[in-house]
């Protein structure tokens, strides 16, 4: 009798074990599906949160840039003249941009062309000190480039011999020696190095760039600048040359620092 009961119990357990294993498999698959669903929901939520933060960061950055640009424009507006027609302003026999002057002919006392103006040297106050003249091989100068004192030159704005005239002789021009722009130091500046320079505020932040310089008489009178702010970056205006001072940045490039008002 005991033998039969033991046999029956063993048979019952033998039959029950596969059923329990099957139930465990079903529970495991269900749990895996539940975990996967939970993980996917978490991933979606995390992605959505990350995207929201990214959008917020981009919006804040854009607002910051806009605010900074607006501030820069307000700072520039203190010195900036946007009402004057620049082309009309320089359409005058006494005003020229440096681009107008560069390329002008240079004549000797016999009205013979001896070269072209290729650069202009200004002192720290904006007064013209020298004109850089390249002879192009004329009058036996062998293509030399010389720096001629501006005081020795006179200008004729119109006529067949429009340009600069000097009484310097060929021998005197040769005696000047070849001009080396790397020797221009101290309080002297070539306009070729000033055009394209940054215009900065008191914090040395860029608020405009120099497009050209207007020469009036024997000195620089205006900066033609492209400025940033609530207007396109190609907007142009005039800044009085006296409202800015030339400073050298860490790379030893000239910049115009606006006066504090």
What distance lies between CA 37 and its chain's CA centroid?
A: 52
Question: What pLDDT sits at residue 91?
Answer: 87
Nearest to 173 by CA among 210, 130, 209: 130
Q: Residue 21: what are its φ and ψ, rounded to 5°?
A: -65, -40
Alpha carbon distance 156, 164 (integer Å):
6
Task: Please check the confidence at residue 11 and state whether its pLDDT lies above 50.
Answer: no
Q: What average pLDDT does the segment 19-45 reach? A: 61
Report the number of distinct structural domains present in the chain.
3
Are residues 119 and 173 located together in one domain of the fold? yes
Nearest to 225 by CA among 86, 35, 75, 121: 86
185 versus 52: the higher-pLDDT residue is 185
Q: How long a stretch of residues is the chain?
A: 261
Are residues 109 and 70 located together in one domain of the fold? no
Boundary-marking domain end, from 156, 183, 210: 183
Task: Please check the confidence at residue 13 and state whether its pLDDT lies above 80.
Answer: no
State the pLDDT confidence band at 1, using cuts at 50, 70 and 90. Answer: very low
Burial code of 220-239, b = ≥16 C-beta within 10 A, e = fewer?
Answer: bbbbbbebbbeeeeebbbbb
Boundary-marking domain end, from 183, 207, 240: 183
Question: What pLDDT sits at residue 153?
Answer: 93
Q: Which residues contact 248 (CB under 8 A, 6 or more apart)?
A: 254, 255
Q: What percent of the chain has pLDDT over 90?
A: 38
Are residues 31 and 65 located together in one domain of the fold? yes
User: What is the residue range of 24's domain?
Assistant: 18-76
Question: What pLDDT sits at residue 218?
Answer: 93
Average pLDDT, the chain: 79
Task: Please check the confidence at residue 35 and state whether its pLDDT lies above 70.
Answer: no
Are residues 122 and 238 located together in one domain of the fold? no
Task: Please check the confidence at residue 46 and state whether its pLDDT lies above 90.
Answer: no
Boundary-marking domain end, from 149, 168, 183: 183
Q: Which residues contact 102 (CB under 8 A, 6 or more apart)?
A: 117, 118, 119, 120, 191
Residue 10 lies in a domain: no
Residue 55 lies in a domain: yes
Are residues 139 and 30 located together in one domain of the fold? no
Question: Taking the CB of residue 210, how many other CB atoms lie within 10 A of it?
Answer: 21
Alpha carbon distance 145, 182 (integer Å):
13
Residue 12 lies in a domain: no
Question: What pLDDT sits at residue 69?
Answer: 53
DSSP 111: S
Read off the tokens for 92. 């005058």
């Amino acid at each position: 009798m005991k033998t039969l009961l033991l046999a029956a119990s063993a048979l019952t357990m033998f039959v029950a074990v596969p059923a329990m294993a099957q139930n465990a498999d079903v529970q495991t698959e269900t749990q895996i599906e539940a975990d996967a669903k939970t993980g996917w929901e978490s991933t979606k939520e995390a992605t959505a949160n990350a995207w929201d933060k990214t959008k917020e960061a981009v919006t804040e950055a854009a607002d910051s840039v806009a605010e900074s640009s607006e501030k820069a424009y307000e700072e520039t507006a203190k010195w900036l003249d946007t009402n004057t027609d620049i082309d009309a302003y320089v359409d005058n026999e006494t005003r020229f941009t440096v681009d107008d002057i560069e390329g002008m002919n240079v004549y000797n006392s016999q009205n013979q062309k001896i070269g072209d103006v290729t650069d202009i040297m200004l002192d720290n106050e904006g007064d013209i000190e020298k004109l850089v003249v390249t002879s192009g091989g004329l009058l036996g100068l062998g293509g030399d480039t010389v720096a001629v004192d501006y005081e020795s030159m006179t200008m004729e704005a119109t006529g067949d011999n429009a340009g600069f005239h000097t009484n310097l002789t060929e021998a005197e021009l040769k005696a000047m020696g070849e001009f080396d722009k790397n020797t221009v130091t101290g309080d002297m500046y070539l306009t070729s190095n000033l055009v394209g320079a940054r215009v900065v505020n008191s914090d040395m932040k860029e608020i405009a760039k120099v497009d050209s310089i207007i020469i009036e008489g024997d000195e620089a009178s205006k900066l033609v600048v492209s400025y940033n702010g609530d207007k396109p970056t190609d907007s142009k205006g005039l800044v009085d040359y006296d409202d800015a001072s030339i400073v050298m940045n860490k790379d030893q490039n000239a910049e115009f620092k606006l006066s504090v008002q």
